Structures are given as C-alpha cells and as structure tokens.
Amino acid sequence: MSQTTQSKRITPRAEDYSRWYNDVVLEGRLADYSPVKGCMVIMPHGYAVWENMQRALDGMFKATGHRNAYFPLFIPKSFLAREAQHVEGFAKECAIVTHSRLRAVEQGGRTTLVPDPESKLEEELVIRPTSETIIYSMFAKWVQSYRDLPLLINQWANVVRWEMRTRLFLRTTEFLWQEGHTAHATTEEAEAAARQMLEVYATFAEQHMAMPVIRGLKSESERFAGAVRTYCIEALMQDGKALQAGTSHNLGQNFARVFELKYQTEDGREEYAWNTSWGVSTRLVGALVMTHGDDNGLVLPPRLAPLATVVVPIWRTEDMREKVLGAARDVARRLLGAGVSCHVDDRDTLTPGFKYHEWELAGVPLRIELGPKDLDRGEVVCVRRPDRAKESVPLGALETRVPALLEEIQQQLYRSALARREAATHEVDDYETFVRMLDEPGGFLLAHWCGSAECEARVKAETRATIRCLALDQPEEPGRCLVCGGSSPKRAHFARAY
C-alpha cells in the first residue's frame, strides 16, 4: 500500500520469534490489525496467497466429488444446544445477535445509538463457529433414500470464535475457512471419507505449501466437540512449536440422531446417516510464514506465491535505461507466455538494492537481475529467495530454466522443512528429560503414553505440552507411559503448540 513509508526492521528470529512473526506478517503486508478487537484485515498480498490456497484445495475437493454450497451465517441458539458435546465446546466463545435495529437516543446531551428494545429477537442467533448443526438440519430435508447418499458438500465461509488471546492468522475472532460436510450410508464409508480428506490436506500441505506434516489421530481430550474420531495434520514451526494445520472428523451418527438425518436403506429399513466434517482455515497462511520465513521476511513456495518472479533492471545512464528496460519487459513477456507470473520493477527513484530488499521481504521465490553486462553476455542472473543462490541463465533458456528453477525451489523448501522437523523430533523415555527438552530444544517429543486422560492432563498442566496426535504411521513399540509407567503400545507426538 503505502509506497512512501520505509519498512521497519524485521526482528531477527533468534532475538524474539514471536515479534519476528508479527513483523513479517505486517511488514510483508499479509495482514494488518483492525479496529475490531481480535479481528484482522487480510491485505491484498495475504489474500492472494489465500486465493492460491483456495484454488488448489477447491480443485482437490471437486476432484473427490464434492460440490460447494452456502449455508446461513446465523445459527439459532436452540440448534447449537441439541448436540450436548458440541454446545459444550462452542457456547463459551460465540458472538450472539440479540437485536435487529439500532435506535438513536439522547444521552447526556448527545445522541447515541442503542439496540432498539422493540427489535429484540424471539430467539437469539449465534454467528456460526462451525456449521454442523445448520448443515445437517438441511441434509435431513434433502436425504430420503440410500440413493441420495453419499452427499458430499463443501462451504467456503467466515466463522467466528470469541478468542481471548489472538494472533494474526493463527488465532483470530473471525477467520476464513472451508468446511466439508458429508453424509454416508455406512460407518465404513464415513471413516474412509474422513481418512480420504485427511490425505487431501496432507498432500496439499506437502506439495503446495512445501510443509511436511504428521498425519495422526487426536486423543479423546483434543477431539472436535461432537466427533467420534478426529484426524489431524500437525506441522512443526521453526521455533519448535507444533501447529495443527487441518482436521477431519468422523462424526458417527451424533448429529444425524439429533437432526433426524435418516435414510431408507435398499431393503426398506430406516437408518441414521453417518457424517464427516473437515476444515482448514486462513491459519495456513500463518503456518506458511512460520515454516519458510527467514530474517529477511517472507519466503513463499512457488506454487502458492502470487508472484513467482520479479525482474529488477539495473542501469546507470539514460541510454542504458531504455535498453535494459526493453530487455526486462521482453523477459517478463516471455515468462508470462510460459505460464510463469512475472513483474518488472521499473521504478525510477529506487536503487536495485532497495528493490531486492523489498521483494525479499515479500517472499518472491525468484529474483531476476538484468544489467547492461548481463545483456551483453546474453543472460540474466537468477537469485533464489531461500538461500540467495545465484545462477546465470542464458536468455535463450528462459522458458525452460526458470520453471525448472521454481520447481527446484519448491522441492528445496520442502526438503529443508523436513530436515528441520526430523532434527527436532526426539524419542524421550523419562519425564525429567521430557520436561527439560520441551524448553530446549522444543520440537516433537515422541513418548509413550498409557492412553489415560489423567496422564495426558498432568503433562498439559505441568508442561503446557499436549499430545498433538497419535501418528498413523507410528510403528508398534510396546513401552511404559511417561507419566504413570503403565503399558503403551506405541509412542505419541507431544509438543507445545500454537
């Protein structure tokens, strides 16, 4: 936005990781604070990243047979109350609409607006914190027979959860997300559907975000309010804290029962349907920042970067300027023709160094420098954002080498993140070491757990670490619970988390 303000210094990660994150989000112009407590503004650069995420995910949802629809923002209070665990989970943090009109009144000599008592609603409405209740009440209307199943629906929407402590993208009162909701004829089918979408999320995280994730099952205490089983993908941030990046729930018949979502079977019986729901949110933008960003700002993986390449032309004299600018525009035209997004930074009043800094801050994966000497040699200099590695590319090879370089950056980012996670994952067998390692170096601690809620709660109360998940690919390995010494069939992923 503002072209005139110099960007502030980015706090180095080693100095204060939390401030570094805020600096990168704000100075990288992904988001800004809003005048509404707990809500943020997603700025154009941040929204463009979200749009790219949406496009990729939406394609994957459609390829697996889901169709988009849209359900009301408002949920009648009584709907939320029907599923006991669900209301328990959401009633304490929801925005409640009570009136439909403001009225001007005189107060202390001046006019203020107050909710008009005459417009008080008969039944209060809750702004959706999630839409199971309203959606399954509609499904009950739409489904009659086994022929209507499976019903595979997705919604892109905003939701509101009244959070006390908010962080840009990671935890905001209002956020954008998608929520998939499906109904099936059998429990097996619902379970397979929940697992399928977990795999879709994991594939998206790894192949598009270049962010390795653990696919796992949540413990009972971390389960979604109203679910029978909650699957999740968990990622590890650079500061050694985990981040839940997506969840997929097998809801069993919990919602079907309370909303009378029934179907007639092929042999004429009446049965409740089986549901799944699954969601990812704008939180993923925060995850992206914390997975790849560095002390110079954002680092965006090419597949999600709004701008993949930027050409910075370099000149000293007016003569050179014309020649170099012409060549730069030609480079951009050719890359665009090859399907690579490209912008020429032709601003006259800024030095190349200043431009490098700015585009690094914005996370553009590949910078293309082009000066008179490069032109004479018939080449450009390509600089990779993650490690600033340079490479001269002959002009004739632009259309082949630049896409290949972007693909290399994408892979490089994934490999770095994976190596970092592997280096930060440790098996721990005694509680004392566990507590010490949580502080330093952090990361995923693989420890045995007997399965009891008590032991889990004790760890959380004493260390702020939680069981992030029981990894699906965790090998069987009998052991002794970290806390009580009871028997454990395999290790769980523990970590402090966002």
* Tokens 């721990």 -> residue: 428
Q: Which stretch binds a second copy (CB under 8 A): 38-46, 227-235, 238-246, 388-396?
A: 38-46
Q: Of 9-17, 41-49, 187-195, 335-343, which segment contacts a second copy by CB under 8 A?
A: 41-49
Q: How many residues does the chain have?
A: 498
- Residue placing its CB nearer to a second copy in the complex, 94 or 242: 94
Q: Which is nearer to a second copy, 3 or 317 (CB)?
A: 3
Window contacting a second copy (CB under 8 A); options: 136-144, 236-244, 356-364, 426-434? 136-144
Nearest approach in angstroms of CB 277 to a second copy is: 16
**Three-state secondary structure call for residue 484:** coil
First vs last C-alpha separation in the chain: 29
Spatial separation of the C-alpha atoms in residues 11 and 22, rounded to whole Å: 9
Quick one: which of 280, 240, 286, 288 has its CA closest to 494?
Answer: 240
Q: Which is nearer to a second copy, 16 or 88 (CB)?
A: 88
Residue of 53, 60, 143, 305 interacting with a second copy (CB under 8 A): 143
Q: Is the CB of 176 or the CB of 395 nearer to a second copy?
A: 176
Residue of 20, 21, 61, 71 that binds a second copy (CB under 8 A): 71
Separation between Cα atoms, residue 419 and residue 412, nearest integer Å = 10
Residue pointed to by tokens 């109203």: 226
How many of the other CB atoms lie within 10 Å of CB of 279? 23
Cβ atoms of 253 and 272 closer than 8 Å: yes
Member of 22, 27, 56, 73 binding a second copy (CB under 8 A): 73
Secondary structure (3-state) at 483:
coil
The vertex-294 CA angle with 206 and 435, nearest 5°, equals 75
User: Binding marks (x or -) toward a second copy, 147..176, rule CB under 8 A?
Assistant: xx--x-x---xx-x-x-----------x-x
Q: Is 39 in the site for a second copy (CB under 8 A)?
A: yes
Is there a contact between 290 and 235 (Cβ–Cβ < 8 Å)?
Answer: no
Residue 70, interface with a second copy (CB under 8 A)?
yes
Q: Which span (124-132, 293-301, 331-339, 399-407) binds a second copy, by CB under 8 A? A: 124-132
* 317: contact with a second copy by CB under 8 A: no
- Scanning the structure block, which residue is given the tokens 């699906």? 472
Q: Does 144 bind a second copy (CB under 8 A)?
A: yes
Q: Decide: helix, strand or coil at residue 179.
A: strand
Q: For residue 477, how many C-alpha atoms fall within 13 Å in the half-sphere facing its CB?
A: 15
* CB of 4 vs a second copy, minimal distance in Å: 4
Q: Choose between 44 and 441: whose C-beta lies nearer to a second copy.
A: 44
Site stretch for a second copy (CB under 8 A), options 39-47, 232-240, 394-402, 433-441: 39-47
Cβ–Cβ < 8 Å for 10, 357: no
Q: Residue 76 Cβ, how far from a second copy at the closest point, in Å?
A: 6
Q: x/- string (CB under 8 A) for a second copy, residues 76-115?
A: xx-xxx-----x---xxxxxxxxxxxxxx-------xx-x
Answer for which of 53, 127, 214, 342 binds a second copy (CB under 8 A) is 127
189-218 positions binding a second copy, by CB under 8 A: none
Q: What is the SS3 assignment for 343?
A: strand
Q: Is the peptide bond before 35 cis (omega within 30 degrees of 0)?
A: no
Stretch of residues binding a second copy (CB under 8 A), selected from 18-26, 135-143, 226-234, 419-427: 135-143
Classified as helix, coil or strand, 103 is: strand
Q: What stretch of H or E contains 278?
A: strand 274-281
Q: Does 40 interact with a second copy (rule: CB under 8 A)?
A: yes
Give the one residue of 15, 19, 59, 68 binding a second copy; rule: CB under 8 A: 68
Q: Which is nearer to a second copy, 34 or 253 (CB)?
A: 34
Looking at residues 7 to 36 of the shown chain, list those that interact with a second copy (rule: CB under 8 A): 32, 34-36
- Rounded least distance, CB 286 to a second copy, Å: 15
CB of 105 or CB of 389, closer to a second copy: 105
Q: Taking a C-beta distance cutoff of 8 angstroms, is the pair 266, 246 a contact?
A: no
| Closest CA relative to residue 57, chosen from 301, 303, 293 | 303
The reply on whether position 6 binds a second copy by CB under 8 A is no
Taking CB under 8 A as the criterion, the residue among 25, 42, 243, 450 binding a second copy is: 42
Residues 285/363, Cβ–Cβ less than 8 Å:
no
Using CB under 8 A as the binding rule, whether residue 56 contacts a second copy is answered as: no
List alpha helices for 424-447, DSSP H: 431-439
Contact 179, 130 (CB under 8 A): yes
> Edge-to-edge strand order for the sheet containing 444-448?
67-68, 151-160, 174-184, 274-281, 242-252, 229-236, 214-217, 466-471, 491-495, 444-448, 425-427
Q: How far is CA 188 from the centre of its chain?
A: 28
Pairing of strands 74-76, 229-236: unpaired
Distance between CA atoms of 334 and 343, rounded to whole angstroms? Answer: 12
142 touching a second copy, by CB under 8 A: yes
Report the residue number, 100 or 187, with the smaller CB distance to a second copy.
100
**Which residue of 134, 214, 289, 483 would you call a contact of a second copy, by CB under 8 A?**
134
Q: Between residues 42 and 227, which has the closer beta carbon with respect to a second copy?
A: 42
Least distance from C-beta 456 to a second copy, angstroms?
Answer: 26
